[in-house]
Structure 1
């Protein structure tokens, strides 16, 4: 333990030197993302993150493994969600972790040279500890990066889903659902779910569903659109369908869908004018 404390003090004293040496030795020509940046602000932030890494990592010579990893986790999660690192291919991040690991081996050798009484066995033990804990940090960093990317993807998908069925609130508890582009089965399902939810949340009593911007539609999607109209009735929302292209009407007829109880208008302007 006494020797561990001495090594800890040695590494802490040299922590900024380690950061500067590490950054000088980055192969900028064969790096990418944050490691190839020449922006002074990005470089300053990167060095600060690296120095914080050292201050956490050297704690492995003082703390138990569970406590060491627990205290390290906030740094791991912060850097894993840092935009500069997010935009850096993961292989380059792992490469720099490995470079830092080699740096620790080198500093252990430097420390041993200052203390000739240190045995080869002690050095090997320190190497094993560094190797084991660095691998654990790398693994947890990859896991944190994955979780962050999943959260971002989920948020983006939710935004896309909302934009896939944007119910626009109008006066007098009326709303407009302008459907645009190709609608496949997956998007049709999202449209149904989001439309029902938004109509309920916004207290919409009458919804104009405009199909004039829909380019292509298949039989399954046509069926789901008419299911939407029926579902709207169940939650007390009347609907007017406008802009139906001939091919959509033909598909609906082939499906045996009845238009008797559906308010249909040739275009959106006509539909809205009727409700005024």
Structure 2
């Protein structure tokens, strides 16, 4: 590091807190997430620390003291996803800080024009642009990875809650399906209901389709496979609410539901089981 670079290095580090304060004052928010908090809050105190650390890391990288942005980016992205801060806000605030950081480089160049060559300026701009781009990419990737994980986990929970196995007697359970059933939900139904039915030690499952408006061919096939799998576990499945069009779809697929009892209404299946089986109630 030559004399002017050392001088600039010290200048940028000395003004790191000032850059952070300017960024805090200009931080953009769309109204949700971490940036929507009061700027005198503990949240912003933490933002101030993280931003200053980023500033110092950038300056070290500018003058050959290579520091990885990976850990910092991971921390930032994870914090933003936890607080449901829009990714757009994160990227906009990166852009705001980039402008502030460049403005301090400009001030330094203006004050030391006689000692700085055009090649030096081009070099500095190239390095800083590369580091800002790298930081943005790292944060964006980690943010999207975390968001996808959270979204998938929430979807799994929703699907599980949307396919409950309700135990109505010691050996009887009901799966009341409501809403559209796509192939993914049908596959989760297969997995979830099998586990729950086994845990409950059920002998009969009533699959109620009366709340399902449409079943396509793939879903009808998966429901058939569900019944067959239950049978292998020595659990009998009764289907209720199967409308004529669903039955016709099944027949056209060559699905033989004759080994499963079907009823138009849920209460008919319950009456059938109560009349024909000895049920020991809980």
Please state which band the TM-score falls in when normalised by the shorter chain. Answer: 0.7 to 0.9
Report the equivalent of 1:190.
188
3-state DSSP class of the match of 2:259? Answer: coil
Report the equivalent of 2:13.
12
2:227 pairs with one of 226, 229, 232:
229
For the structure 1 residues 213 and 100, does the alpha-carbon distance in structure 2 shift closer, same or farther, using more than 3 Å as the test? same
Q: Give the deviation of 1:60 after TM superposition.
A: 0.7
For the structure 1 residues 62 and 86, does the alpha-carbon distance in structure 2 shift closer, same or farther, using more than 3 Å as the test? farther
Matched, 1:239 2:240: no
* Number of positions where the alignment pairs a residue of Structure 1 with one of Structure 2: 267
- Kept after mapping to 1: 8 A contact 2:73/2:139: yes
For 2:165 and 2:113, how far apart are their aligned partners in 1? Answer: 76
Report the equivalent of 1:59.
60
- Kept after mapping to 2: 8 A contact 1:208/1:241: yes
Q: Give the deviation of 1:250 after TM superposition.
A: 4.7
- Kept after mapping to 1: 8 A contact 2:163/2:189: yes
Report the equivalent of 1:73.
70
**Length-normalised TM-score, structure 1:** 0.77
Q: RCO higher in 1 or 2 (8 Å CA, sep ≥ 6)?
A: 2
Q: Deviations over 1:162-193 (max 9, x none)?
A: 23433345775654422223334443333223
Q: Deviations over 1:130-175 (max 9, x none)?
A: 1121111112222222222221222223223323433345775654
* Stretch moving more, 247-256 or 184-193: 247-256
- Kept after mapping to 2: 8 A contact 1:239/1:262: yes
Q: Give the deviation of 1:11 after TM superposition.
A: 2.0
* Stretch moving more, 184-193 or 17-26: 184-193
Q: Deviations over 1:188-214 (max 9, x none)?
A: 3332233234445x2634242231642
- Kept after mapping to 1: 8 A contact 2:81/2:146: no
Report the equivalent of 1:160.
158
For the structure 1 residues 36 and 195, does the alpha-carbon distance in structure 2 shift closer, same or farther, using more than 3 Å as the test? closer
- Kept after mapping to 2: 8 A contact 1:210/1:242: yes
Matched, 1:37 2:71: no
Unaligned 5+ residue runs, structure 1? Answer: none
3-state DSSP class of the match of 1:177? Answer: strand
For 1:75 and 1:103, how far apart are their aligned partners in 2? Answer: 19
For 1:229 and 1:154, how far apart are their aligned partners in 2? Answer: 27
2:143 pairs with one of 142, 145, 165:
145
- Kept after mapping to 2: 8 A contact 1:5/1:61: no
